[in-house]
């Protein structure tokens, strides 16, 4: 089986490769094709993968190319994990918004809209090429903003594109752990949009254990989201939100902390990654070791400003291992080998959340088999969550429309309608600011 990774020179590729190395069963991935627009990054990551595969006799064969069509032809699965505009672009997304006093973040608020506006046209081009060159391939989309980008691609690939994210998995794992339940045996009742979802229940043997957690301040204080949101607020909500909801519920504190930070997350990662890629290109430097150390630092500092604003302290060791590669591999195995499983994925709604139309991509538990991912029935969201989900989906729709038409007025509307952008005038200035720094937004006339 052949897996093509777009963004193949990306920093998280060794995580996926590491997961593949642990799969020895029949029907596993035997060939990996890395595609990237940057040959230097491909060389660096290829070195890390070669060191990882050392001593693994059935390791997949890895090749690298900068030719997109060549990479796609013959693919059974395509992982798309690209970053349009690079980390420099991410840093601009953050800074332009923070200068206007609104949130600048990779996927949430103004920063996420700017990132979406320049990513959607590229993702649509990829989707069209996949439909032409590898019509039977399944596309697993990691590219952020993952829900929006998956929806853009689904216009061309239908249900053959599935979006993934590690944050609901991590949340479910943490809640299961503090409740003493085995994650595999627990049913996590989670729904929303990507980076905008809530756990409303955790059932073990038919019994909902979440009330026990919500009633216990000590348990609530013993995991990341409990510390981030605080026991009182979680009890008021009656649910545990995805960590990205911190940007909504504590927006003022988050924006303040981001403005005070010496460097934005994007700028920090830009510098860190530049050092890694330079080092990994030096034949005298052990590339895998450098990658491990760089990754440890990246994980330890994830959402540091939010944790600081909330007084949440350091991340726990168990939370540093991410898990997105496990979701990706489980999804691929379920489809390729009909190994049925349940995963929280980004798929078309098809009536699951009734206020949204059928084509809206949502994040929801899905049964996965050889026919793809099928969203399960879930209880409706409470009104305040429905309101947020509908507002953000409306923003995503304006981003998709702006990417299609090239209309600047539609781009302004996308920013202006976002709950975290507090004035139409701010939205106008954001579009001016972003188009001034991002070559990828030149299409907005």
Question: Under the rule (CB under 6 A), what is the footprint of ligand G6P?
Answer: 106, 144, 165-167, 265, 269, 298, 302
Question: Which C-beta is closer to ligand G6P: that of 165 or that of 389?
Answer: 165
Closest CA to 207 of 226, 240, 185, 175: 185
Under the binding rule (CB under 5 A), the answer on residue 149 touching Mn ion is no
Nearest approach in angstroms of CB 166 to ligand G6P is: 5
Nearest approach in angstroms of CB 180 to ligand G6P is: 26
Helix (H, G, I), strand (E, B) or coil at 434: helix
Q: What is the dihedral of CA 403, 348, 160, 138, to 10 degrees?
A: 90
Pairwise CA distance, residues 232 & 107, whole Å: 27
Binding partner selected for residue 265 from Mn ion, ligand G6P, none, CB under the kind-specific 5 to 8 Å limit = ligand G6P
Contact 118, 89 (CB under 8 A): yes
Q: Which two tokens stand for residue 185?
A: 């045996």
Question: Which C-beta is closer to ligand G6P: that of 266 or that of 440?
Answer: 266
Q: Tally Cβ neighbours within 10 Å of residue 418.
A: 25
Pairwise CA distance, residues 189 & 142, whole Å: 22
Binding partner selected for residue 298 from ligand G6P, Mn ion, none, CB under the kind-specific 5 to 8 Å limit = ligand G6P
Question: Which C-beta is closer to Mn ion: that of 53 or that of 399?
Answer: 399
Binding partner selected for residue 413 from Mn ion, ligand G6P, none, CB under the kind-specific 5 to 8 Å limit = none
Binding partner selected for residue 264 from Mn ion, ligand G6P, none, CB under the kind-specific 5 to 8 Å limit = none
Under the binding rule (CB under 5 A), the answer on residue 269 touching Mn ion is no
Question: Which C-beta is closer to Mn ion: that of 53 or that of 81?
Answer: 81
- The alpha carbon of 190 is separated from its chain's Cα centroid by a whole number of angstroms, namely 16
Provide the greatest CA pair distance for the chain. Answer: 60
Pairwise CA distance, residues 166 & 250, whole Å: 22
Helix (H, G, I), strand (E, B) or coil at 244: helix
Which range in 31-39, 160-168, 258-266, 272-280 contacts Mn ion by CB under 5 A? 160-168
Helix (H, G, I), strand (E, B) or coil at 162: strand
Binding partner selected for residue 105 from Mn ion, ligand G6P, none, CB under the kind-specific 5 to 8 Å limit = none
Nearest approach in angstroms of CB 206 to ligand G6P is: 30
Closest CA to 333 of 24, 27, 2, 4: 27
Pairwise CA distance, residues 146 & 167, whole Å: 12
Closest CA to 418 of 436, 397, 401: 397
Nearest approach in angstroms of CB 276 to ligand G6P is: 13
Nearest approach in angstroms of CB 228 to Mn ion is: 16
**What phi, psi does 2 have (nearest 5°)?**
-115, 130
Question: Which C-beta is closer to ligand G6P: that of 298 or that of 418?
Answer: 298
Pairwise CA distance, residues 312 & 154, whole Å: 38
Could you check whether the bond before residue 415 is cis, i.e. omega within 30 degrees of 0? no
Which range in 161-169, 211-219, 245-253, 357-365 contacts Mn ion by CB under 5 A? 161-169
Q: Which residues pair with 196 in a beta bridge?
A: 193
Residue whose entry in the numeric block shows the structure tokens 């080998």: 337
Nearest approach in angstroms of CB 12 to ligand G6P is: 9
Tell me which residue has its CB nearest to Mn ion: 165
Question: Which C-beta is closer to Mn ion: that of 165 or that of 213?
Answer: 165
Q: Tally Cβ neighbours within 10 Å of residue 125.
A: 12
Question: Which C-beta is closer to ligand G6P: that of 52 or that of 144?
Answer: 144
Binding partner selected for residue 335 from ligand G6P, Mn ion, none, CB under the kind-specific 5 to 8 Å limit = none
Nearest approach in angstroms of CB 165 to Mn ion is: 3
Residues contacting 57, CB < 8 A, separation 6+: none
Question: Which C-beta is closer to ligand G6P: that of 95 or that of 265?
Answer: 265
Ranges within 78-97 binding Mn ion (CB under 5 A):
none
Tell me which residue has its CB nearest to ligand G6P: 167
Nearest approach in angstroms of CB 300 to Mn ion is: 18
Nearest approach in angstroms of CB 4 to Mn ion is: 21
Residues touching Mn ion, count (CB under 5 A) = 1
Closest CA to 29 of 314, 367, 331, 385: 331
DSSP-H helix ranges across 54-85:
68-72
Under the binding rule (CB under 5 A), the answer on residue 165 touching Mn ion is yes
Question: Which C-beta is closer to ligand G6P: that of 134 or that of 245?
Answer: 245
Question: Which C-beta is closer to ligand G6P: that of 103 or that of 165?
Answer: 165
Nearest approach in angstroms of CB 298 to ligand G6P is: 5
Residues that bind Mn ion (CB under 5 A): 165
């Amino acid at each position: 089986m052949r897996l093509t990774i777009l963004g193949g020179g990306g920093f998280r590729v060794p995580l996926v490769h590491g997961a593949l190395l642990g799969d020895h069963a029949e029907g596993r991935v035997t060939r990996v094709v890395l595609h990237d627009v940057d040959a230097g990054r491909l060389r660096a990551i290829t070195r890390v993968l070669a060191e990882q595969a050392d001593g693994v006799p059935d390791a997949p064969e890895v090749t690298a190319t900068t030719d997109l069509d060549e990479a796609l032809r013959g693919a059974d699965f395509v992982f798309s994990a690209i970053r349009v505009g690079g980390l420099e672009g991410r840093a601009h997304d953050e800074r332009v918004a923070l200068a206007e006093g609104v949130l600048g973040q990779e996927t949430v608020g103004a920063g996420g809209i700017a990132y979406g506006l320049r990513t959607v046209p590229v993702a649509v081009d990829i989707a069209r090429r996949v439909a032409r060159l590898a019509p039977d391939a399944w596309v697993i989309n990691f590219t952020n903003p993952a829900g929006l980008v998956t929806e853009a691609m689904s216009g061309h690939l239908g249900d053959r594109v599935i979006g993934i994210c590690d944050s609901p998995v991590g949340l479910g794992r943490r809640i299961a752990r503090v409740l003493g339940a085995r994650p595999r045996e627990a049913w996590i009742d989670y729904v929303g949009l990507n980076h905008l979802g809530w756990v409303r229940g955790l059932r073990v043997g038919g019994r909902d254990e979440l009330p026990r957690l919500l009633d216990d301040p000590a348990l609530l204080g013993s995991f990341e989201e409990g510390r981030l949101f605080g026991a009182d607020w979680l009890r008021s909500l009656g649910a545990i939100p995805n960590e990205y909801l911190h940007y909504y519920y504590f927006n003022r504190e988050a924006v303040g902390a981001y403005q005070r930070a010496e460097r934005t997350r994007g700028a920090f990662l830009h510098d860190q990654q530049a050092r890694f890629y330079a080092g990994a290109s030096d034949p005298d430097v052990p590339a895998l070791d450098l990658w491990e150390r760089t990754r440890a630092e990246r994980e330890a500092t994830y959402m540091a400003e939010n944790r600081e604003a909330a007084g949440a302290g350091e991340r726990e060791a168990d939370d540093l291992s991410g898990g997105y590669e496990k979701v990706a591999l489980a999804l691929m195995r379920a489809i390729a080998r009909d190994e049925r499983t349940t995963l929280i994925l980004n798929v078309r709604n098809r009536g699951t959340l009734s206020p949204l139309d059928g084509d809206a991509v949502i994040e929801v538990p899905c049964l996965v088999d050889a026919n793809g991912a099928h969203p399960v029935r879930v209880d409706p969201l409470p009104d305040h969550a429905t309101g947020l989900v509908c507002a953000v989906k409306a923003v995503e729709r304006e981003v998709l429309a702006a990417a299609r038409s090239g209309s600047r007025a539609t781009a302004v509307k996308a920013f202006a309608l976002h709950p975290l952008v507090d004035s139409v005038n701010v939205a106008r200035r954001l579009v001016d600011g972003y188009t001034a720094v991002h070559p990828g937004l030149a299409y907005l006339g």
